[in-house]
Chains A and B, each alone.
Chain A
């Protein structure tokens, strides 16, 4: 077990483009941190830098306070689960599990004991004499985990380990990974493009975009206080609606938000009000979570009228696709989405009324930064 620290890590490819840039990140001993971002954002590169499969162009990697930039993966004592598992096809499950121990010259009786232990823990005992080609996807996944865990690594790296599994198996194995990680308390870095996986698994989540770190925080922090509009849209399913709007100072802690042809009048706490006031009269972006829409008024909620363009009934909830009268979208082809509990019927009238709690709103400046948390030093 170990802590991991990345100090201003950057990786530039031969063609001059930066895969990741200026990444600073600390993973505490025993913590599970999830790296999330869309494909090509550099998350796998960062994992490979930590594994020692690629060399960093700049910055320092420290494991347990020791600089490991020049060390081989084995010297770093990291283990990795690959997206396609990378099991050795010509070896049995047992031989796959034994391989890392053979490489570290472990004594034979110890190898036998350790492999037995891991096989029991991951329920592989029945299949140890089979080859990877004879296993199901879930079994292969467990063998890959076993091979990574068998030599008791300091750091456990997982590169999209669930993306080759079908949906039902994915949830099951996700829970298993969480259980094993909690039990072994191995410092882990988990890469995924799936924000649901990130939110459910991570002690903390790191959001990357175009090789740059967008935000580090607990799932709750990312959800409620996204640092910028990228994180706001990326986290949540569906992500936050980002609408161009204008702020109008009404005095006395009251602020008007002009959204297309309508205006919401918000009564804000002093701190929030003071941060937003300097932007009055300016174009900003208002972020509304799909879950923040309600069909009935609650205490302090404000009205928002919208055209319901389409509804999707998913069983326990309904997604309503909305357009605001007289307002454009950040992307013209993307309607706002409201996530409503139970069954919601498309109203006969053109315009439906929704209710929103002011404290569920986020405001982003033209650069996409969250005005409410900017300057607080929070990451």
Chain B
């Protein structure tokens, strides 16, 4: 009996390990490959045993900076993502608060519309949106990459469900103490909603950091080009050097990982709960 149980547990762990390996190998290959001289990258990729580089070199990283304006791409991505995250936190949380707590005509209908909007992917509206921003004369700017993504139905929904779980008495107590709706939001509600702010910040940052389709459609100059478009262009920039591409990839992924590690505690809390204990 115990033997059978052990075999069962063991096989489950083996399966999990196999999956973990399948997911980790590409990441490891990218990381180690970025330190390998170019001629070794593909040769050694054939054997798992030679995943680790025989010699470490920063050559590929230097090469990336020499061949493309990487710092420009990095700044563009950081600036665009930061604007979207900051603007999104403000706009979406306020909208969600209005849905969750304020009384106004048509509220419930509009909430349904917002929830329905979550199922429409960008790809479906990309062309009409492109037409719109062209009319506005916004193409090849930062704003065209920022403004359309600040208001976000999914973020509103996340904030909304969190706010519903907040004890109403807190806001009523603040009302009695003399606070108006703005002050209640910024002094009472927002400080007690940190987990959901962190969750929304991370989710929208991740989405924007990896955005490719829209920048591809609306930008053409390097001055406003973000990282994902940069790496795509880098692929097609001869000569094709895998070590350089890996180095580019590592540098693109690192900021996201850092942010995730920094806010991980709040992120987990935000996903796991929709209320705070008094």
Q: Chain A interface (Cβ within 8 Å of chain B)?
A: 51-53, 72-74, 78-80, 82-90, 99-100, 103-104, 132-133, 147
Distance A103 CA – B184 CA, assembled complex (angstroms): 11
What are 22 of the A-B contact pairs (CB < 8 Å)? Answer: A52-B175, A53-B175, A73-B175, A73-B178, A74-B176, A74-B177, A78-B176, A79-B176, A80-B172, A82-B169, A82-B172, A84-B167, A86-B170, A86-B172, A87-B173, A88-B170, A88-B188, A89-B277, A90-B191, A90-B192, A99-B179, A99-B187
Distance A237 CA – B276 CA, assembled complex (angstroms): 38
Least CB distance from A73 to B in Å reads 4
Q: Are B167 and A73 in contact (CB under 8 A)?
A: no
CB contacts (< 8 Å) of A100 on chain B: these are 177-178
Q: Are B191 and A147 in contact (CB under 8 A)?
A: no
Q: B278 at interface (Cβ–Cβ under 8 A)?
A: yes
CB contacts (< 8 Å) of A84 on chain B: these are 167, 169, 278
Q: Are A74 and B172 in contact (CB under 8 A)?
A: no
Least CB distance from A142 to B in Å reads 15
Interface centre among B174, B183, B276, B278, by most chain A C-beta atoms within 10 angstroms, is B278
Q: Are A73 and B176 in contact (CB under 8 A)?
A: yes
Least CB distance from A13 to B in Å reads 13
Q: Are B278 and A85 in contact (CB under 8 A)?
A: yes
Q: Chain B interface (Cβ within 8 Å of chain A)?
A: 167, 169-170, 172-179, 183, 187-188, 191-192, 276-278
Q: Are A99 and B169 in contact (CB under 8 A)?
A: no
Distance A202 CA – B194 CA, assembled complex (angstroms): 42
CB contacts (< 8 Å) of B177 on chain A: these are 74, 99-100, 103, 147
Q: Are A132 and B178 in contact (CB under 8 A)?
A: no
CB contacts (< 8 Å) of B169 on chain A: these are 82-84, 86
- Beyond contacts A74-B176, A89-B278: 4 other A-B pairs, Cβ-Cβ < 8 A, are A74-B175, A80-B176, A84-B169, A90-B192
The list of the 7 closest CB pairs from A to B, nearest first, reads A103-B178, A74-B178, A86-B169, A100-B177, A86-B173, A90-B191, A73-B176
Q: Are B191 and A80 in contact (CB under 8 A)?
A: no
The residue on A at minimum CB distance from B183 is: A103
CB contacts (< 8 Å) of A132 on chain B: these are 278
CB contacts (< 8 Å) of B276 on chain A: these are 89
Least CB distance from B177 to A in Å reads 4
CB contacts (< 8 Å) of A90 on chain B: these are 191-192
CB contacts (< 8 Å) of B183 on chain A: these are 103
Distance A79 CA – B175 CA, assembled complex (angstroms): 10
Q: Are A103 and B170 in contact (CB under 8 A)?
A: no
Least CB distance from B29 to A in Å reads 45
CB contacts (< 8 Å) of A52 on chain B: these are 175-176
Q: Are B176 and A53 in contact (CB under 8 A)?
A: yes
CB contacts (< 8 Å) of A83 on chain B: these are 169
CB contacts (< 8 Å) of A82 on chain B: these are 169, 172-173
Distance A90 CA – B179 CA, assembled complex (angstroms): 16
Distance A275 CA – B187 CA, assembled complex (angstroms): 63
CB contacts (< 8 Å) of B178 on chain A: these are 72-74, 100, 103-104
Q: Are A87 and B278 in contact (CB under 8 A)?
A: yes
The residue on B at minimum CB distance from A159 is: B169
CB contacts (< 8 Å) of B188 on chain A: these are 88
Interface centre among A51, A79, A86, A90, by most chain B C-beta atoms within 10 angstroms, is A86
Distance A85 CA – B174 CA, assembled complex (angstroms): 12
Least CB distance from B68 to A in Å reads 45
The residue on A at minimum CB distance from B171 is: A86
CB contacts (< 8 Å) of A78 on chain B: these are 176
Distance A74 CA – B172 CA, assembled complex (angstroms): 11
The residue on B at minimum CB distance from A148 is: B176
Distance A93 CA – B188 CA, assembled complex (angstroms): 15
Q: Which of B172, B179, B192, B278 lies in contact with A103, CB distance below 8 A? A: B179
Least CB distance from B210 to A in Å reads 33
CB contacts (< 8 Å) of B277 on chain A: these are 89, 133
> Known contacts being A104-B178, A147-B177, is A53 close to B192, with CB within 8 Å?
no
Least CB distance from B119 to A in Å reads 30
> Known contacts being A84-B169, A86-B167, A86-B170, is A51 close to B278, with CB within 8 Å?
no
CB contacts (< 8 Å) of B187 on chain A: these are 99
Least CB distance from B94 to A in Å reads 19
Distance A353 CA – B172 CA, assembled complex (angstroms): 56
Distance A19 CA – B276 CA, assembled complex (angstroms): 29
Least CB distance from B239 to A in Å reads 56
Distance A90 CA – B195 CA, assembled complex (angstroms): 13
Least CB distance from A239 to B in Å reads 31
Q: Are B176 and A51 in contact (CB under 8 A)?
A: yes
Distance A158 CA – B217 CA, assembled complex (angstroms): 61
Q: Are B172 and A53 in contact (CB under 8 A)?
A: yes
